[in-house]
Amino acid sequence: MATNTSSLKKKSEQVLDGSDIMELVENQEVFTSFVDHKFKELDKDSDGHLSVKELQPAVADIGAALGLPAQGSSPDSDHIYSEVLNEFTQGKQEKVSKTEFKEVLSDILLGMAAGLKRDPIVILRIDGEDLLEFINGPSYEVEMLSVFSQIVSDDAVLPMRDCIVKALEKLTVDQGMPPSPDSWVTSNIIEPALQLWDGNNQEKLVSQETFLEEFKKVAERVAQNLKEQPVIVAHSENTFDGSGIKRLLSNKFELDKLLNTALENVPKDRNGKVSKEYLRVVLDVVAPSASLPPIGAVEQIDKVVAEAFDMINADDGKAVKEDEFKKLLTEILGSVMLQLEGNPISISSNSVVHEPLASSSSLLQPSS
């Protein structure tokens, strides 16, 4: 169930909507000074150019700012790190000048700002107050009985402790509960609350009445732990309804320019034809401009894209002329747009922030 961002405002510390990044990049004087400082910081041998090795900290910091796991921990994210590096080196240069560094950094930051403007991230400080308000509020019994019925239907006979753990997993930031699958939340917030809970009650027969009673006791202890150790959660939500694709398709000039740029880096055979196997690669390049997530990021969107590919037999691996390739990609985008217009897909995510936001990416912090 998607959460309404406006209902979270009272719990939020800040909203990351890209405006700070836009302000930095659009102020030429400030941005030039920012780039000068960062370039000097990265240019270890002071030769006025950045080598691939010297660029690595910048690439790692951009990954951190995008919320990617560390390099080397996932093939999917490593692919994005390689793409970022290629943006700087253009895939062939061994050295990057300050002008090139500034241009690419500007493009990357503006892309990030556009993404945040479209899908802002709300930073929530969860300190137990909202959880106490929920368990002592008028909707507690109705909502928790609904949760209880789901747990019982999943597994007819469960010990009380297991019922409570499963119930905590079903609560969201709306009820003042941080994501319980997070290992830090489990070991520092949930487990201590369960340990302090009266062990004798663990053997009680699980009925609706005893569940409501015992769950409230544990939730009160969870709220107390959150008061002592508040949890910072990054909350984001977005709805994919095809409107971004519609905007792109209605601007033929922008679409052609985007496809031509994407096709420049795609291999062609001796007749200048392009294999259909690169349709997904080019679609991934076009995705941000069509308000679509990268392929592999949202399972429901991947299914819609796969259906669109099936409809036009795009996975047969045949080589086609560039114009035909562009036509196929436009058809795929049109098909995905119609699907999403008919059945919009909403995604809501919550992740625990384990370090201060300001230190997550030193590259993006203006110099003092």
pLDDT tens track for 181-221? 888 899 999 999 999 886 555 566 788 888 999 999 999 99
pLDDT (average), residues 282-295: 87
Judge whether 81 and 31 are in contact, CB under 8 Å.
no
pLDDT tens track for 319-353? 999 999 999 999 999 999 999 999 999 887 777 77
**What's the CA gap between 67 and 61, in Å, rounded?**
10
Choose among 54, 42, 38: nearest CA to 89.
Answer: 54
- Domain borders along the chain are 14-118, 125-236, 242-343
Which residues is 345 bridged to in the sheet? Answer: 240
State the amino acid at position 282 in one-letter form.
V
Is the pLDDT at 16 greater than 60, yes or no? yes
Angle at 341 between CA 295 and CA 278, to 5 degrees: 30
Q: Specify the CATH number of the domain 14-118.
A: 1.10.238.10
SS3 state of residue 11: helix
- Of 284 and 368, the one with more pLDDT: 284
Is the pLDDT at 10 greater than 80, yes or no? no
pLDDT band at residue 359 using 50, 70 and 90 as cut-offs = very low
pLDDT tens track for 168-177? 999 988 899 9
Judge whether 50 and 95 are in contact, CB under 8 Å.
yes
Judge whether 175 and 216 are in contact, CB under 8 Å.
no
- Of 61 and 83, the one with more pLDDT: 61
pTM: 0.57
Retrieve residue 305's tokens.
């894209």
**What's the CA gap between 69 and 59, in Å, rounded?**
12
**What's the CA gap between 227 and 221, in Å, rounded?**
10
pLDDT tens track for 110-168? 877 777 776 777 788 899 999 999 999 999 999 999 999 888 875 566 788 888 999 99
Retrieve residue 26's tokens.
């659009």
**What's the CA gap between 6 and 112, in Å, rounded?**
22
**What's the CA gap between 193 and 215, in Å, rounded?**
11
